[in-house]
Homo-oligomer: A and B are copies of this chain.
Amino acid sequence: MSLTVAVSGASGYAGGEVLRLLSTHPEVTIGSITAHSNAGQRLGSLQPHLHSLADRVLEDTTAEVLAGHDVVFLALPHGASAEIAAQLPADTLVIDAGADHRLESADAWQQFYGSEHAGHWPYGLPELPGRREHLRGARRIAVPGCYPTSSLLALSPGYSAGLLQPEDVVIVAASGTSGAGKSTKPHLLGSEVMGGMSPYGVGGGHRHTPEIEQGLSWAAGESVQVSFTPTLAPMARGILTTATAKLRPGVTEAQVRQAYSDAYADEEFVHLLPEGQWPATKSVLGSNHAVLQLAVDAHAGRVIVSAAIDNLTKGTAGGAVQSMNIALGLAENAGLAHQGVTP
């Protein structure tokens, strides 16, 4: 069997990463590769790392071009996916790496994005309780944001096990610059980012907050409240998330550790590290793996969980391919066997 797959948004970082992974996926034939303003160009001039696809030419991102593939990946700006997805056949597997179909709540969507809510699709984070089942056989999948992926992997086992208090979660995350895409803004210039750090979107307005709260609330079975601060780190890839939540009275570090160990025991891509070893984003670079460590700060009554992912792989394209594999009944790790690229 070989599935034909189309990839839109192929000149951007997310689209390029989808292509990187699909290029070695054993069950996949890459069909149309599309872009908007870069249509007509050679892929090799825009994504010089995709050597085996260098001579492919980018087509226009239209429903006509994308239709007729078994799978369509959408790596488009927020707001663009819903429109094009509506024109694709119902039995085509459409995987949206954008935000349009992540939130259940139309109110939250409206508040943070300001446009009409396009509806909610099965959520492509199979390690979150209950989500893998939603993905089996699905024909529409919303890929989680990169910050929510790491935040939910960091805290959901504590909530599923009933060990954490729902109020006053504090999350601070450091992301590589590729999370901001290829847009040529002055603050993203190499001269500006190398050798320094800065925060952005501080104060609750970050669009990933409702998505993190949604996932943690699913795990907790009650509404969870989060303060989330993202920062920009001088690296191209990777997210290091420091997530802290208050323990319910009497909960011990051993209980928390057991809950995490149980939650991820059968997961191929999420690893609670041995005690004493801390997550490093470099250890997952270019891979679909996530690594976690936790500690209880008894003094503060909080658990602190540190989680590292590659924002473009597990945080975007890897999660997308993993979700595709589940939806189509393929081996969940097909095309995702890469180790991290270190050093």
Contacts and interface: CB of A to CB of B under 8 A. Distances in A.
A86 interface: no
A278 B199 contact: yes
Chain copies in the assembly? 4
Interface string A307-321: 010001000000000
A255 interface: no
Among A49, A204, A244, A273, max chain B CB count under 10 A is at: A49
A189 interface: yes
Interface in A217-245: 225-227, 229, 231, 233-238, 240, 242, 244
Given A186-B182, A235-B197, A287-B51, A202 B23 contact: no
A281 interface: yes
Interface stretch (A99-107, A115-123, A128-136, A292-300): A292-300
Interface residues of A, number: 96
Given A233-B233, A300-B226, A341-B341, A281 B198 contact: yes
A327 interface: no
Given A189-B188, A194-B195, A49 B204 contact: no
A184 interface: yes
Contact of A174 (B174, B191, B227, B289): B174
B192 A274 contact: no
Interface of A: 13, 16, 20, 23-24, 42, 44-45, 47-54, 168, 170, 172, 174, 176-178, 180, 182, 184-186, 188-200, 202-204, 209, 225-227, 229, 231, 233-238, 240, 242, 244, 246, 271, 273-274, 277-287, 289, 291, 293, 295-302, 304, 306, 308, 312, 337-343
